[in-house]
Structures are given as structure tokens and as C-alpha cells.
Amino acid sequence: MAGFALPTVLISSTIMLVVLMVSVSSTAAVRVSLAAQYYNSIAKNAADAGAVYAKSCLKANANTPTWTNPLTPYTDCSGNPIAGPNCTDDANIPTAACSVTFNTVDNIRSTFSVVRPSVDAFGKATEVVSVGTVDLLRKSGGNSWRKYNQNTKMIIADPIAQILVVGGGGAGAPNLSGGGGAGGFLEGTFTMTSGTITPVTVGAGGLHSGNVALKGGDSVFGVFTTVGGGKGSQRDTLNDAAGSGGSGGGACGYSTMNGLVPNGGAGTSGQGYSGGGGYGNIVDFGATSAGGGGGGAG
């Protein structure tokens, strides 16, 4: 049995050596993977920084690209080098002024490059693609011996505006007659599409035509239309009813010269309210007759 001792020891030692080598190899692979994740995250941050920089340049020029040469950490919004070190010279590349980040402890440098973006038919940018790069630098000379790249794509969306549209107010009528209604009132959001013209109309206030009041003008902003305010009814004009509108006009004080039941005009749903009714009679209109107020909006 003693003759088997040496082979057994050799076999056991070989197995242990193989296990150790596998363990070392696995540890090295994990280390390489973690290092790659670390460098790629820095490259991604650099790409994000480039996208934000490009977006700020576009915002300053109504989304029209101003650069032909790529944007980098050391160029202005026209792609021209900013005053300082010559960052295209290899001797100056490993410096903080030419980088997004520059780490002398780990000898790494990150930067970005943003080429001129694609544009629509109106010359407006549609998306930005930024490439972030991490260079692993040699301690002697500062030359790059390995690179990690990550991309960031940013869609340039049309801006959304908060809008408020109000119609023109209706005219009130004189002599114990009804007040004019307020113009319709709408709030909402509106997508501003580059290169297009948005129709806008500002409604005028209602006028008078002789003794008869007139409705206010409608206001328009794109797809939003608010109705002008209704006119007030005239006490001394036969069958002159209070007008409907964004908000209804007020009715006149009751009189046989008008002949109608003094009801206020109807408002438009979602934009305003009905006008007030009138009060009184022909006998004592000076004491108790009164016109109704126009409807409010909001």
C-alpha cells in the first residue's frame, strides 16, 4: 500500500492546483468585468454631458444647429475651439481643460463628441447623438492604450406651451338695459411645431349699432376658439333679446317697448355662464326697473 502514496499525493496536488488556477482565473474575470462597467459608466456620463451641451446650443438658436465640426468639451456652440490649450495636440490631451473628467490617480480621461444633428425640412434638429469616450492613459507619455465608448441619443421634441385664450366682451345696452357678457375663457396646452405658423385672432370688444349692442369677437389660438361675449338687450328696441356668447348678455329691464320676457342670454359650456335677467315694468321703470348683468367667464 505504501507504493501508492506518492502517486496519490501527486494527483491530489494536481487537482488542488487546477482548482486554484480556476479560482484565480474567475477572480480575474470578475475584476475585468467590474472595471469595464466602471469605465463604461464614466463614458456614459460623458455622453450625457455632450447631449446636454448640444441641447443648450440648440435652445439658444431656436433648435437650428450652429456647428459643422463636432462639439467637444473644448469647443463653443459653433464647434470652434475655446481659447486655451490646443486640445488637438497629443501633448495637451491628457489635461483637465480638454476633458469632461481627468483622473491622475487612475490615469483616465473622459470626453465627448457630438456631430451635427439631422434636421427636418425647416432646418430644425430632430435628434442629437453624443459619443462619450474614456481613455486609459499610460503613466509615461499620457498616450491612450485602451478606449471605452458609450452613446446617448436625445430626441428634440417640439415645445409645449401653456395657453390662455379669452374672447372679446359683448357690448352693454343703455337706459336700464342689459350688460354685455364676458368673452369665453379657455386654458390648455399647445404643441408648437417648428416651421409652422399658428393662426391667432384676438377678439374685439362688442360695439353699438344705433341703440342695439353687438356681440364680442371670437378669439382663436390654433385649435382653440373662445366665443365672444353676448350683447346686452336694449329696453327701448322691440324684440331685442339678450345675446348668447362665451358668457351671455344681460336682459333689459321689462318694458312694453321691448315686449320680450327679460331673460339673460345663454353662455357657452366650458367657457362662461348665462347673463342675468332684467326686472321692472313700464309704469314705474324709473323706480324699480333694472337691466341684468352680463355673465362672467372662468
Q: What integer is the mean pLDDT of 278-291?
A: 58
Residue 13 has pLDDT above 90, yes or no: no
Q: What is the pLDDT of residues 55-69, one digit of tens each?
A: 999 989 888 999 999
Least confident of 89-98, 234-243, 269-278: 89-98
- Give me the long-range contacts of 146-152 (CB less than 8 A, separation at least 24): 148/36, 148/39, 148/40, 148/42, 148/43, 149/43, 150/40, 150/43, 150/44, 150/46, 150/47, 151/47, 152/44, 152/47, 152/48, 152/50, 152/51
Domains of the chain by residue range: 39-155, 158-298
Calpha distance 272→247 (Å, rounded)? 4
Per-residue pLDDT tens for 105-162?
Answer: 778 889 999 999 988 878 889 899 999 999 888 877 677 888 999 999 998 877 778 8
Name the band, by pLDDT with cuts 50, 70 and 90, for residue 91.
Answer: low
As a whole number of angstroms, the distance between CA 116 and CA 79 comes to: 9
**For the whole prediction, is pTM greater than 0.95?**
no
Tell me the pLDDT of the chain averaged across its residues: 81
Q: DSSP state, 207?
A: -
Taking the C-alpha atoms of residue 201 and residue 180, their distance in angstroms, rounded to an integer, is: 21
The H or E element spanning position 153 is strand 144-155
User: What sections of the chain are H helices per DSSP?
Assistant: 5-59, 285-288
pLDDT digits (tens, 9 = 90+) for 190-213: 877 766 788 899 999 988 877 788
Alpha-carbon gap, residue 16 to 47, rounded angstroms? 46
